[in-house]
Each structure stands twice: as structure tokens, then as C-alpha cells.
Structure 1
Amino acid sequence: MRYSRSNEGLHRYTDPADGEVYVYGFPYVDQAPRIFACFDQPDLKAPFTFDITVPAHWRVLATGETTETGPGHWRAGPTAPQATYLTTVAAGPYASYHAQHRGTRLGLHCRASLADALKDDLGELFEVTRQCLDEGHRLFGSPYHLPAFDQLFAPEFSVLSLDHPGLVLLRESYVFSSGATDSERETRAVVLAHGISLMWMAGLVTSAWWDDLWLGQTFADYLAHRVTSEVTRFTGPPTTFAARRKGQAYAADQRPSTHPVSLQARDVASALLDLDRISYFKGHSALRQLATVIGDEALRAGLRTYVERHAYSTATYRDFLDALGSAPGEAGLDLDRWSDLWLTSANVNTLRLELTTRDGTITSATVHQSAPDSHPVLRPHTLGIGLYTADGRTALVRAAIDGDRTAIPDLVGLPAPELALLNDGDLTYAKIRLDERSLAALPALLPALSPINRAMVWASLLLAVQDGAHPAEEHLSLVAVMVAVEPELPILTEVLEQARFDVADRFLLPARRPAALARVAAALRERLARTGAGDQTALTLFRALVDFTDDTAELRRWLGTGSGAPAAPLPAGLHLSSDLAWRIRLRLTVLGALGPRELTAAHAADVGSGADEGVAKCRAALPDPAAKEAAWQRLFSSEEVSNYELLALADGFWHPEQAALTAPYVERFFTELPAAAAHYGDLTLDLLIKHLYPRHAAAPETLTAAENLLAHPALPAALRRAVNDLTYDLSRALEVRRSAEES
């Protein structure tokens, strides 16, 4: 087989910093036969031994202990029985660091040119690894079962992680070569915890067939956020999940391709299509709801029984339900009914609280539940209802919801609130609609809510914008208010990204966009002006200001270009890292204030993969017809583009400020995509579609072009599905804009 630059089989990377070569196997779910000869299905677990020949100065890592048997000759294994899709090797002049933990050798590895950056974080990375391994032992009732646990930061890596037993591959961006916020470090810790959870939920007990792959991933995501918040210094993952990842599940669950959390997979191809944000994030939410209903200890007892019964073997979802059903504490819950409603049915419910009051007191309270006509399933929900007033009085009631109308007698007689918060604590998975009185109270009362409730409210508001139930302009006005006071990094990061790239770029009327961006930019400047050096929020605020501002003089001062003057100090004592410099250059390029010569000079002075991606993104963003055509040809006509370059070019291509310039490419995207599908693998094609689809072009002619493509009878299933989903998103944005124009 040929080496890959697109994470299909054995991936080969040449480091631009020093010319060294690195290789690693990317089996994913269906690529193991591109690495070694095998029948690739999860129930064929077997021990492996590999003999590997490499250049003499390379080291070898694998899903098994490796031994150098002679100069340039290594042996990996023999391993315990493991599935082919969980088996890999990696080789190259990697920089390696080791530690010990309870008899297990721990390893962290990266390419040599990133060694100094990794070295700075060894203490934190090893500490998180130890804490999560210990918690895994406690949760599953079984210690980590292999002699070594290696984590390799892999170059040109397309997913967050691949979690092979004993050798986890991680995205290289988690080696922080420039300033990183605690929010980013928290995300990295969650990714590490996810991989560690899968040492039990995939490596030790493997799904018997592709249709149960979701179970391990669902539990890994749930446990990663929970374990990290409970045993590491990072306490915010539940808030981060509520603010960021759960909203991605809501979006996916409403698209045409919505599907149950559990997979209906006939084969690996259909499993791959459905192993997505619904499986990960809706599944995570369903498990959180299950733990709310039956209790944490019953859920953990079920996990321990499952692992005890099926260690070193394979199991099915039915096996898991049987293990959970034997756990003490779950009595009274019909697990099969719960599973049918939550895990084997699709789409999302909407919940609305109706209160009637008299003389400042609640006289009746009812929760209304609805479901779309396409998926008319109503689910049971156990949730909190919070009542909040401006004078600081609060009340919290736990309620069990089932059916289309549920009376809540425990609320009757309580003082009428200014803000009535359904799903207080974010215990369930549903779209929450706030009443008009509560919406009006948000600017005053939102800052006083707990972090997880603030995150839940922001996610609900974004869903309301997407549904046309909350004006995009009002949403951005509330964001400007939030910027002044929000202390939580995950909420700041996610709400600002959503405000800029979803609400402002896609749902807001284009004519109103400049003024809305300017309001948020002004709020960011004001917050930064009173943010001291060393404040964790400073980097997040500054990155957002770069994205929101259209003041090219301000951007140039920070970059120190144009007049030859040195760069002006950044706000809050921040340092102009390579990452920040390329972010500023991208914004200047989009606004037409930075040209090809300056980009070339900057790239020559900043060697490395980060600079390669930065300059590729900027060149694709140049507001010049020739530059756009060159980027387009590279995307659609070159077979030598790595996944990293592809993503950089795609992310740099479209910008609302350049809508007139890129208008001809909107139709070209749909007409030229089938030809591109012929020379891209499914993973790369999926990345290309999701990053290059013209999301901002919410116009009738875009829908027409998309529909013409979807009418093509011979489209590959993966292409059809991705385009159909993104076209549905576009149609929703178009409908929101139409309604705003009419109002």
C-alpha cells in the first residue's frame, strides 16, 4: 500500500522544520487493511506480533510492548487479544518522555521539533493521565490491563484522538507551542480522559459488531467530562459540554440524517456514517439523564458488572443492559422502555414551562412537551426547574416530565419569578423555550446564574435563533452585555465563536452585520482595557476582538507592519505569539489590508507546520480573483494536499466580507464536488465538504445549486448525506433572514 497524507492507512509526514520523517498507522474503523493484512471486524480479536524495519535512528511504538532486536529492527508484541481496528504502529525520530505509575510505564511522544513545547507540559500531562487511570480502575472495578500506556501527538492528524489499547494517537495541536488558556488545557485533559476510558470500553471489552461501536464512544465522552471534573484540577467540563458540544448534538439531531444514538449498522460503512455528534454528545446527554434517574452508584455498578463479565472478549448493547439491570438501585425503571425512547429513537423534544400567577404567587404550573411531526416521540425527563428574582430569591424544584402536558404542583404557591428556568442544572436533553418575561430578565439575571445554567441558557438561545424564535440581532446585543461580566472561559470562548461565525455570519441580515460586529468589538475592547496581565480571560477576549474588529489600523499596530514601526503592546500584557500573529494576518488579509508579499515575508520568518497552515489560510483569503482561483484549484485538482493544508485552504476561502468576489464559486462548489469525490477518501471528503460548504451564502440560488447536486442519482452516500445536512442548515438560515426582512 502507498503511504498516505490524508490519514488513510499508514500516514507519512515530513517535518518542514528539520526534514525528519514520521510514520503512524491510522486504522480508524475501516483502514486497518491498508496497514497490514487482516479481516477487519471487531469480533475477530487476536494477539498480534509485528516485525518492523526502520532507519537506525528511529524509535518504534505500537499497541504492544516494542523491543529493538537489532539496528533498525524492532518487534512489537505479542499483545493480548485485540481487534484489528484498534491495532497500530508508529515510527520515527520521536522525542519521548517516560514516567511510572503503579507498575505501568507511561510515555508521551511528539516529533523532535516540538520537544521543547511538550517538555513544558509534562507535569500536567502525566498528572492528568495518572488521575484518570486511577479513576478508571475505581469506576470499572478493574485496573488498567497493559504494561505500558503511550500517548503520541501525531502530525497531520484529522481527528481528536484514536484510542488504541496502549497507544493513543492525539491531535498535535494539543502540544501548546504558544500561549494556551485553561479552557484549552481543560479540553486537552478531557480528550486524554476520553482515550483512557476507552482502554476499558473498547480495548478490554470490545463491541461484538459495528452496530455497537457507539456504546464505548458514548460512555467515553460522558466519563471523560465527568472524570476530568471530579479528579483533576479542571472543574469546568460539564459547563464546557453544555456550552459547546451539546449544541452540536442538537444541530445534528434536527437534520435530515438524524438517527438514534444506537446504530443500525449493517456494515462498517453504515456505522461510520452514523458514528457522529449524536452518538457522542446526545449519547453523553442520555447517560447523564440516566444517572439522574437511577443514581450514579447504580450506573457505576452496571459498568463494573459489564467489564467483569466480558473482559478480554466482546459484548453487545444487550449485554450492557443486562449488566445494568442487575445493578442495585435501578429498580422501578423499565430499562427497555427507557432505552427505546432515549437511545433507539431520533430527534429532540421541545419543553416549555407555562405559569399562571395571581398577586405575585404561582397558581398553576405546567410543562408542555412537543416533538416534530417527523419523529413524534415524547420522552420522560427528570429535570430541575429554577425560579429567580431580581432581589436574589431563588427556588429549585425537581420534576419528572412525561407526555405532552405535566402539571408541577410543587411550584404552586411559590413567589412568581422574573426568570423561570426549565432544565436547571442541564440534567436532560431537550430544546428549552424561555417565556417573554424570562427573556426580558436575562440581561440582569443571567450573570447571577451558576456557570452550567449560564451555559445551558446560551445553548437554548442559539437553538432559538436557529429556529427563528429569537432574533439574531437581540442575541448579539446580549452577547455584548455578556462580554462585560462573564468570567467562565468555556462560556466566553463558545458564545463568542457562535456569535461571530454562526449568528452574525449566517443568521443575521448582511446589512446589519457591520454594526452588530462593531458593538461586540467595542465591548471586547472595554473588557480588555480593565483586564490585568495574567488574567486567563485575556487571550480569549483578544482572539475574539481580532475576529470581530474591522479596524485595520488597530490590527496593523498589533502586528507591527506597514510603517516599519515595531508592534504595539497587546492588551492585558499578552505576547504576540506565532498563532496570534497569523490570526491577525488572516483578518487583515480578509479586509484587504495585507498582500502576498507581506505574507511571503512572514512565512519565511516563521518556519513550521503552524506557519504553513497560517500562510495557506491567508493566501486562500486574499481578496483577489487569481488567489481565489489558485486556492480552488489546489483544493479540487491536487492529489498532494495533506488534510492540514486542505482544512487551511477551506477555512480561508469564504468570508462574508468577500461575498461578491466568491459568488461564482458557490455554484462551482456543487458542480465540481462529484469529481473531487473520486480522488478523496471518505474521511477527507467529509472534511472538505464540512469546511468548504458555502454556509454564509444563504440565498435561493444556493439552495437551487444544492438541490441540483442532490438530484444527481450516482452520488456517493457520504457525499449526499453531508451535502443534504448542510443544505438543510442553509435553508434554516435563509428562512430566518427572510423572516427578519419581513418584520
Structure 2
Amino acid sequence: MPSLTQAEAKERGALLRIRSYRVDLDLTTGDETFRSTTRIVFDASPGATFLDVRPRELRSVILNGRELDPAALDDGRFPLDGLAEENELVVVADMAYSRECEGLHRYIDPADGRVYLYAYVFIDNAPRIFACFDQPDLKAPFTFDVTVPDDDWQVLGNAPSTRLGPGHWRLAETAPLATYLTTLVVGPYESFHAEHGGVPLGLHCRASLADGLKADVEEVFEITGQCLDEYRRLFGVPYPFEKFDQVFVPEFSVLSLDHPGCVLLRELYLFGSAVPRSERETRAVVIAHGLSLMWLAGLVTNTWWDDLWLGQAFADYMAHRVTGDVTRFSGPLTTFAVRRKAQAYVADQRPSTHPVSLAGPDVRTVLLELDRISYFKGSSVLRQLAARVGTPALRAGLSTYFTRHAYGTATFTDFLTALSEAAGTDLTEWARVWFSTCDVGTLTPEITVSDGVITAAAVRQDVPEGHPVPRPHTLDIGCYGEESTTIRVTIDGPRTGLPQLVGRPAPEFLLVNDGDLTYAKIRFDDRSRAALPGFLPRLSPVNRAMVWCALLMAVQDGVYPAADHLELVTGMLAVETDPSIVVEVLEQARIDVADRFLRPERRPAALAAVAGALRDRIAEVEPSDEIWLCLCRGLVEFSTDVDELRGWLDGTRLPAGLVLDADLAWRTRYRLAVLGALAEDEIAAAHDADPSTRGEQFAAKCRAARPDPAAKEAAWEVIVGDTEMSSYGLWALAEGFWQPEQAELTAGYVPRFFAEMPAAARSRGDLVLDVLVRFLYPRYAASAETLRLADELLARPDVELPLRRRVADFTGDLRRAVAARTGVSG
């Protein structure tokens, strides 16, 4: 199917003005398809255009009372000509349900057999549900009528819904919406309601998970209300829609989708088991992110997809800022500094790196670039922008932008114009350097000391080869010692002198980018690097997080030994008090450093050292401490002691006070499966006892993770050949397949990945394929032979863009791992 180009959208946008959509969906027609009837009223100038519709069967198309031939449909496009000044178009089609989040997703709950539906229209899947002119600048009001098969089903969407009679629901007419921002949620969802500041609030989930949500309803509504109040204050515009629903939906491919009035959330954020505070904090950030997009995408919508990044990046920036400012969670910026920023730095050094601002001739190309650079680098650059202009100018600019373009569309230029007016300075060149160029620079302090006094000081800014110019940075430099202080500086150019430091006593530890205000990798001078183990615990949480991120980047750049990193992690575990830092650093230490960058022969001793440190800290910390569960989960990941893990499962060796709930039991089983100590009958029994979605996915991961040739072959055949399995089941198998402990067993699958993946990719949608390749790429096979096989695949002309792009990226990551293992003593 052709992807809509920007040129086509401009031509169609100039031709049409959409007055309204009325969509009637009949969901009683069977398990495979549903009936969709769409009535579109629109004005047109003379000319020809096309309608977007992707049905299982197109039954009829009637334009101004004239029947058109359904056979004219060609690859998702239906040609329209002979348009009048005022038009009515009625399209009837049978649409297919989805299992891969493309259109109307249909899910059967394994816990009770009940059916749940939700509409996944992002970014170009609306034509799988209703006929439309699918581009963001053709906004229009929508009305939905929905017929459902059971009286206990309800219907939710962008506007308030009304039950008109048995099995018949209507959603009120919406404010003008882009097609990609519409949604429907249909099924026997359990609901909870509240109100805040005149805005009706709703929380919804599957009936089988309602107990898990019930325990958190008060917390979620409280966070939602706090964020609503703060956004009203910051944006200068009231909440722009009639109500705000949040729905936890099954088999969701992304963390959230933020439709006006109705946000869909991944069930990952429904906590049926005990979780660390850091996971509740993450949920609060996701809630704040979705709510901010009611303004940043719903009220003012991007004119074309190349500006889609702005709403997402700003929502990410606002979510971390606002959650930390007004909720009980104080650590979002800490988590961002240690985790999400690291993900942006990695993405920004891959072959597919691109500017924060998106570019591409068509929707598919733009969507491929909507990634961690768009979100997390974009968020970081907006934090730098806020530091540059100040909060008052930021608030004034946002208020102007939302007021000026309310319920319409706008471009990044419009946004920048409003902000420049408020700041009293033209931000065009600053924005060009930051938003329209690729790659990440590196800031290194250069300090000369004589007799304990600084005699010369500067910051060197290194940029990747081919980068046009070093970026300007507004940042703080922290000087730590007997007297600690920070100074605000502007770094601009390849080398910036720091006369403010000359003549001062030399600090024991100097930190560039104190407070994490800018986007750049940082290095340490020799004196500070030597002092790091002693000073790291004395830094603020945000600075500790930023240092850990810097060290991870240094390991990946091959300038800091992986073994030294893991030794520092072992020491950290004795003193670190921030749960978010413990969780993120342990995950990076296992998945990145120990599993990929450390030389394989050193891995067993490194895991044992970290596991030992975890046991020691667990014995010292009270179970009521927020960090305790983080430590216990970490021990499961690092332990290679089968007897210890078996003792956790049967209750004979559990740490005093630890309750082995369903989640922790599955984590323990998964680790045992990797170590070859979990049999198939045990997996089956555990799955029978827990037939939930979580149990189903963990069972699949455990089966794929077992070091058994038959288990590996069975998992592989399903991954590459079963097109009926749900995306979640597919990902679970792929996630469990490769294990560092099983390199010899899985060596034969490395060439199979490169040989078989192109054919398998053709049967998957881009969204599913993106996650599948991330899990299935042979990331632990860090060898010259793997790189050779990857290069051969990338040279093939039949490899389509989504697969080519992801393989190139992960091969770039692997190349760095190979270099790091053979470079510094890791």
C-alpha cells in the first residue's frame, strides 16, 4: 500500500474542507470482521482526489447519491472525481479485526474468555476502521454510533457516550479532530469515575484486572488532578475537552496513545503485585505525558507529520518536569537522566541518527524516525531551551501558541514564533542548530592546577566528524571539595575558556553539566575520575544519575572499562538510597555492560560480585524500605545460584519479609529457565495456575529461554513463521531466545537470523517488526563473523527499509561492543 506523501497531502488539503464525519460501526457481524459505515460531509474545489479505506471487503461507495464502483479501490485508495462544491460521501465496508494493533484490535481475555476491543489508529491506521481523508490538517468533528453484541459492553471514545438502547451506543460530536487522534474502546470494561475542576475523569480496565486497578484508583485520580491544575497554570488555557478517560488496554504495542479525551495505556501500569516506588513514578510520568498532549496534539495539531515530534518531545519534557513539581514523586528528572537520556545518546550515534525535527517525503518514512531521538533528545533540548529563556517566557509563549491556534493546526515555525515573541529574542538560529542537526557532542573539562590552585580552565567540545558546528550550551559546572559551588556558563565553539575558575582552589571533583541542563556526553578530567568512587555518593540524585549515564556512554565508546563500571556498581550497592538509580543502574549493568560489553570470560565473576553485594545490602535493609524490593529483583537477575533461586520458589530460602507474589515468582522461573533448571512441565503447571496475559507471556519467555535444542527450534519456527500469533506472544518468544549463557547453543541461529529475517519481515507490520527485530537481533554474538553476516544482509537489494534500518542500527551497536571488548581492558 502506498504511503501518503507530503506533496499528495498538500494537494488534497488545498482541495478539501471536511465539515463532519459520522461513523456507524456494527460489531455484531462475527469474530473476524465488523461492518463500518462512514458518512462524510465536505466542501471541495474543482479537481480529483482520493479517499483512504483499507477494508476486508468494500461493499458500496455513494457520492452525492451516485453509486461508484467498489472495484475502483486500489491498494487502500479510492479515486474521487466529479466533486461538487458541497458533497456527501457514504462508504460501507467490512473491516478486519487486528491482533497487531493496526486498526480495531480484538482481544480475548484468557482469564474469563471475555472480548475487548480498542481502536489503534496511530499513525495511519484510521482507514482500517472507517473511510476517511487520512491526514492531520483535515480536522473535522466526529460522531460515532456503535452496535455491540452484549448488554454488559460499554463504549468509550473522544467524547461522552450515551447508551441509546440495548446494544446501541452513541458518542457525542467531538471538537474538530485529526483522523489519527480518534479512538474507540468497546467491551465489558470495569470503570471508576471522579471529577476534578469540572472535568469528568474515568479509569477503565478489563474486569479480570479490576482488583489491581481498584487499589490504585485514588492515587491515579490524585496525580491526574494535580497535573491538570499545573497544566492549566503553565499553558494559560483550560483543559480543552469535555472529559478525560484513561483506559488500560491489553496487547498494547506502545506505552500510551494520547487521544483527546481518551488516553489508552499499556496494562504494564496496572500493578497486581508489589512494585518499587520507581514503577509508580513511571506511571505518574506516563499519565502526565498523556494529559499534556490534550493541549500539545489535541488542541493544536501538527499540520504535517514532520512536526509530530514537537508534541511528543514537549509532552515528555513537561511530564518529567510537572510530575516532579506537583506530585509526591520527586525523582522523574533523576530517572530521565540515568535512563531515557542514555537511550537518546545511543540512538543519536547509530547509522539512522537524524535531527530531532522529522523529515521525509511520506508518512512511513516520518514514522520510522519517530524514535528515542524525537522523544528523549527532543525533551532534553527543550529542557535546555527552558534554561535559556526562563520559565516566565516559556509560559507566555505557550499561552500565545495555544490561544492563537486553538482547535486548528500549526507548525514548528508557529511554535517558535510564539516563543521568540515571549522571550524577546529570535530563536530561529538556536533552534536550527539544536533541532535540525544530528549527533551528540562530548564535553571534556581541561583543568591545569599548580600548588592546589587552578591556573587554566576550559571545556573542550568534540563533535562527530561531519557535524556542521558545535552547539551552544547553557549549563552549570559543579566544583566539589571542602567548599562546593556551581557556576553558570555558556559553552560555545570547540573550546570555551572558563576564566571564572582561574585562581580558585582546585576542586577534588569537577562536574560539567551539573544538574543535567543540556544534552551532551560528558567526560571527567583525570583528577575527578580518580575521585569519582568517593564523591559519587555525595552528589545529588540527578547528578548521580547523570554520572552513571556518562559512565555507560564511556563504556560503549570504549574509553572506560566494562569491568571498572561493574566494580563501581558493586560499590554503589552498599550506599545508594535512590530506588530509581538502583533499578536503572542494575538493569544497565546486566543488559548492557555485563551481557554485551564485558569480555565473556569475565562475566561469571562480575555477576557473582554484584549478586554478593546485593545479598549484603538486602540483609541490611528493612523490607519496608522502598529500595528493598529493587534489590531483591536485582538479585534474581544477577544470581547464578540455582539452589538459591529454587529456594525462593519453594519458600525455603526467601529473604526474611519477602513475599513471593506472582510477578516475582515468574521472574525467578525465567532466570531458572535461562540457567537450565526449569522443566517444561513446571512452566506448563505455572501457566495453568496463572492463565493471565502476564502468565502467558512469561511462560512463552521461559520456553524460549531454556537451553534445550528442541525448545530453541520450536520457538524459532513460531517467531519466523507463525503469522497468527499475537504480537505480544511473538515478542515474548523473541525476548527469551538469546541468552549470554547460551552462546554455543544458539550459534547456529546467528546466520539463520540474517538469512530468514527478510522473508519473515514481509508478513509483519512496521510497528510489530520494530520490536521483534530489537529482541531477535543476535546482540550477544559480538564477533567479526556476525558483523560480516550483517553487512551481507544490508547489501541485499530485497531488504525493505524498516528491516534495513533496524538491522543497520543494531549492527552499529554490535560493532561498538566488538570494539570495546578488544579495546580498553574490559
Q: TM-score range by the shorter chain?
A: over 0.9
1:37 and 2:131 matched = yes
Instruction: Please give the secondary structure, in 2, of the residue aligned with 1:547.
Output: helix
1:542 and 2:626 matched = no
1:178 to 273, 280, 284: 273
Q: Which residue of 1 aligns with 2:89?
A: none
User: Structure 2, unaligned stretches of length 5 or more?
Assistant: 1-94
Q: Which residue of 1 aligns with 2:408?
A: 313
2:777 to 659, 682, 693: 693
Q: Which residue of 2 aligns with 1:394?
A: 484
> 1:462-514 CA distances to partner (integer Å, 9 max, x unpaired)?
00000001000000000000011111111111110000010000000000000
1:46 and 2:140 matched = yes
Q: Which residue of 2 aligns with 1:373?
A: 465
- 1:735: Cα distance to partner? 0.7
Pairing 1:587-736 to 2, within 5 Å after superposition: 587-736=671-820
- 1:740: Cα distance to partner? 4.3
> 1:579-620 CA distances to partner (integer Å, 9 max, x unpaired)?
111111111111111111111112222221111111110000
In structure 2, what is the Cα distance between the partners aligned to 1:695 and 1:38? 42
Change (3 A) 1:452 1:397: same
Q: Which residue of 1 aligns with 2:77?
A: none
2:110 to 16, 39, 50: 16
In structure 1, what is the Cα distance between the partners aligned to 2:232 and 2:800? 43
- Aligned-residue RMSD, C-alpha: 1.0
Counterpart residue type for residue 266 of structure 1: P
Instruction: Please give the secondary structure, in 2, of the residue aligned with 1:152.
Output: strand
- 1:13: Cα distance to partner? 0.4
Larger Cα Rg: Structure 1 or Structure 2? Answer: 2
Instruction: Please give the secondary structure, in 1, of the residue aligned with 2:145.
Output: strand
1:415 and 2:505 matched = yes
1:98 and 2:224 matched = no
In structure 1, what is the Cα distance between the partners aligned to 2:305 and 2:242? 28
> 1:256-315 CA distances to partner (integer Å, 9 max, x unpaired)?
111111111322112101111111111111111111111111111111100010001000
1:322 and 2:406 matched = no
Instruction: Please give the secondary structure, in 2, of the residue aligned with 1:659.
Output: helix
In structure 2, what is the Cα distance between the partners aligned to 1:207 and 1:678? 31
Q: Which residue of 2 aligns with 1:449?
A: 539
* Number of residue pairs the alignment of both structures matches: 731
In structure 2, what is the Cα distance between the partners aligned to 1:103 and 1:395? 46
In structure 2, what is the Cα distance between the partners aligned to 1:312 and 1:601? 54
In structure 1, what is the Cα distance between the partners aligned to 2:509 and 2:128? 57
In structure 1, what is the Cα distance between the partners aligned to 2:746 and 2:331? 40
In structure 1, what is the Cα distance between the partners aligned to 2:239 and 2:407? 12
Q: Which residue of 1 aligns with 2:585?
A: 495
User: Identity percentage over the alignment?
Assistant: 63
Contact 2:259/2:294, CA 8 A, preserved across alignment:
yes
- 1:550: Cα distance to partner? 0.4
Instruction: Please give the secondary structure, in 2, of the residue aligned with 1:50.
Output: strand
- 1:436: Cα distance to partner? 2.2
In structure 1, what is the Cα distance between the partners aligned to 2:731 and 2:504? 54
2:241 to 139, 146, 149: 146
In structure 1, what is the Cα distance between the partners aligned to 2:248 and 2:729? 18
Structure with greater strand percent: 2
Contact 1:29/1:85, CA 8 A, preserved across alignment:
yes
2:300 to 175, 185, 205: 205
Counterpart residue type for residue 118 of structure 1: L
1:477 and 2:567 matched = yes
- 1:393: Cα distance to partner? 2.4
> 1:500-553 CA distances to partner (integer Å, 9 max, x unpaired)?
010000000000000011111100000000111211111111111111110000
1:553 to 620, 643, 653: 643
Q: Which residue of 1 aligns with 2:85?
A: none
In structure 1, what is the Cα distance between the partners aligned to 2:237 and 2:695? 44
1:229 to 316, 324, 333: 324
- 1:334: Cα distance to partner? 4.1
Counterpart residue type for residue 370 of structure 1: D
Change (3 A) 1:433 1:572: farther
Q: Which residue of 2 aligns with 1:563?
A: none
1:280 to 375, 388, 402: 375
- 1:377: Cα distance to partner? 2.5
Instruction: Please give the secondary structure, in 2, of the residue aligned with 1:410.
Output: coil
Contact 1:426/1:452, CA 8 A, preserved across alignment:
yes
More displaced, 461-470 or 128-137? Answer: 128-137
In structure 1, what is the Cα distance between the partners aligned to 2:364 and 2:466? 25
In structure 2, what is the Cα distance between the partners aligned to 1:343 and 1:529? 48
Contact 2:647/2:654, CA 8 A, preserved across alignment:
no
Instruction: Please give the secondary structure, in 2, of the residue aligned with 1:301.
Output: helix
1:136 and 2:239 matched = no
In structure 1, what is the Cα distance between the partners aligned to 2:160 and 2:131? 20
2:552 to 457, 462, 466: 462
Counterpart residue type for residue 478 of structure 2: G
Instruction: Please give the secondary structure, in 2, of the residue aligned with 1:571.
Output: coil
1:114 and 2:214 matched = no
Instruction: Please give the secondary structure, in 1, of the residue aligned with 2:500.
Output: helix
Instruction: Please give the secondary structure, in 2, of the residue aligned with 1:136.
Output: helix
Counterpart residue type for residue 730 of structure 2: L
TM-score by structure 2 length?
0.88
In structure 1, what is the Cα distance between the partners aligned to 2:776 and 2:406? 43
TM-score by structure 1 length?
0.97
In structure 2, what is the Cα distance between the partners aligned to 1:310 and 1:376? 34
In structure 1, what is the Cα distance between the partners aligned to 2:190 and 2:532? 51
In structure 2, what is the Cα distance between the partners aligned to 1:320 and 1:266? 22
1:511 to 597, 601, 606: 601
> 1:81-122 CA distances to partner (integer Å, 9 max, x unpaired)?
000000011100000000111222100000000001100000
Contact 2:245/2:261, CA 8 A, preserved across alignment:
yes
- 1:569: Cα distance to partner? 5.5
1:84 to 165, 173, 179: 179
In structure 1, what is the Cα distance between the partners aligned to 2:371 and 2:172? 32
1:384 and 2:479 matched = no
- 1:574: Cα distance to partner? 1.9
Contact 2:388/2:474, CA 8 A, preserved across alignment:
yes
Structure with greater helix percent: 1
Instruction: Please give the secondary structure, in 2, of the residue aligned with 1:234.
Output: coil
> 1:315-369 CA distances to partner (integer Å, 9 max, x unpaired)?
0111011101110xx23x5411101110011101111111111110111101111
Contact 1:509/1:740, CA 8 A, preserved across alignment:
no
- 1:571: Cα distance to partner? 2.3
In structure 1, what is the Cα distance between the partners aligned to 2:814 and 2:246? 39
Pairing 1:518-537 to 2, within 5 Å after superposition: 518-537=608-627
Instruction: Please give the secondary structure, in 2, of the residue aligned with 1:218.
Output: helix
Change (3 A) 1:15 1:299: same
Contact 2:559/2:824, CA 8 A, preserved across alignment:
no
In structure 2, what is the Cα distance between the partners aligned to 1:643 and 1:492? 31
Q: Which residue of 1 aligns with 2:455?
A: 363
More displaced, 654-663 or 433-442? Answer: 433-442
In structure 2, what is the Cα distance between the partners aligned to 1:740 and 1:587? 30
Contact 2:560/2:824, CA 8 A, preserved across alignment:
no
Q: Which residue of 2 aligns with 1:251?
A: 346
Instruction: Please give the secondary structure, in 1, of the residue aligned with 2:174.
Output: coil
Change (3 A) 1:125 1:572: farther
